[in-house]
Structure 1
Amino acid sequence: MRIKKKQYQNKQMLIKQKIPIKVLHHISLIHTDIKEGVNAGVWSVGVIIGSSEMGLSLDEFTSLSEFDKENVISKTANSFMQNGADFTIKTMSELTDIIERINSLISDGKRPRTN
């Protein structure tokens, strides 16, 4: 249930920020969510820091050296991309920018990648 609660919270954050969404986007914290988004044919975005995919608590992550942080971020981003993510972002604070980018791609007639 934790993931569903998180998805609900993410949706509420989008509504509060009044982010213009032209089509459905799938914001994911684990690679199985990415696969669901790919199978549904929607744009999928993996959120790295704080994700179950990263496998570290925020305290554990912040205690890492900068070198180790970048390695964990890179490894998690690669996992999301290998599982079909269209984009990855480090934190939810980047979501507005990525949605604007996706909306621009949609305006240009682009579609999310599909299997």
Structure 2
Amino acid sequence: MNTINKAPYSFQRRYAGQVKAVICDWAGTTVDFGSRAPIMAFMTLFENHGVAVTEAQCREPMGTEKSVHIRMMLAMPEIQEKWQAVKGLASTEEDVMALYHEFLPIQLETIRLTGGLIPGWKQVSDDLRAQGIKLGGNTGYNEQMYAVVAEVAKEAGYEADVNVCATEVSKGRPYPYMAQAVMEKLEILEAQACIKIDDTETGIEEGLNAGMWTVAVAVSGNANGLSLEQWQALPGDEQEAIAVKARKKMALSGAHYVIDSVAELPAVIDDINRKLASGERP
């Protein structure tokens, strides 16, 4: 009887080290409280064509690459009906790309207007670097849009170690390719040593598909949608009601953790380090 000798080692490598990298989305996660820049740009874009869209419609595809976002908005029955009423024909792929090219300068301007750091992120990012944790970024913005994001963030005191745009990979979120490309740039082997942080469901799905720990931010991003000034102007009870709704929404994304903003990240990293030390994986 033939037998197969078992190898004296396993290919299932058990990682019990510390968190090595944090990979963050930008708008709504590390900059642009309420993720206002894309919404302002999409609303202006469609209004320029006589098609009124709501903020909720603009937010539904958030996290995707921007031409995909436009395509998904045009596929919404209400928007498509308005488009045909104005244009006389159903939208085409040529319309999508024409809108995308029109969108670019509008988006660049709104990024400059709303690109401030999320409160607390400067101190948290400095502390993470002091611990030896690498900081990567990825985004549904293209390279030109990201260049403006990076410029505004740098002026406020923050730079990511590396970044990957959706237009730099074959497919953006929810595919894991951007997060994996950040890992490659950071020269990190273990996905379980990485944390993906995002304010959209599709961004969390990206991290899950990449085999990483995932952290959803609720109040600072898309699930809230208010600017920092609007948020701070609300009384405490209204803030809490919005926060509860936003936390519930982001919990449905399947994220391992839900926090209000990246200011709360250090406690999450401590808990993940504890889990890794005991042999747990995402």
Compute the TM-score of the two structures, normalised by the length of structure 1: 0.77
Structure 1 gaps, min length 5: none
Which of 56, 59, 63 is the matching residue for 2:226? 56
Residues 25 and 199, structure 2, Cα contact 8 Å, conserved in 1: no
Q: Could you say if the C-alpha distance between residues 69 and 15 of structure 1 is closer, same or farther in structure 2, counting changes exceeding 3 Å?
A: closer
Which of 75, 97, 101 is the matching residue for 2:267? 97
Which of 44, 47, 56 is the matching residue for 2:214? 44
- For residues 102 and 20 of structure 1, the distance between their equivalents in structure 2, rounded to whole angstroms, comes to 15
Structure 2 gaps, min length 5: 1-23, 32-116, 134-191
Is the radius of gyration larger for structure 1 or structure 2?
Answer: 2
Offset at 1:102?
0.8
Which of 3, 14, 23 is the matching residue for 2:193? 23
- For residues 255 and 25 of structure 2, the distance between their equivalents in structure 1, rounded to whole angstroms, comes to 19
Higher helix share: 1
Residues 46 and 80, structure 1, Cα contact 8 Å, conserved in 2: yes
Q: CA RMSD in A?
A: 2.8
- For residues 80 and 88 of structure 1, the distance between their equivalents in structure 2, rounded to whole angstroms, comes to 7
Report the 3-state secondary structure (helix = DSSP H, G, I; strand = E; otherwise coil) of the residue aligned with 2:193. coil
Higher relative contact order, structure no. (Cα contacts within 8 Å, ≥ 6 residues apart): 1
1:33 aligned to 2:33? Answer: no
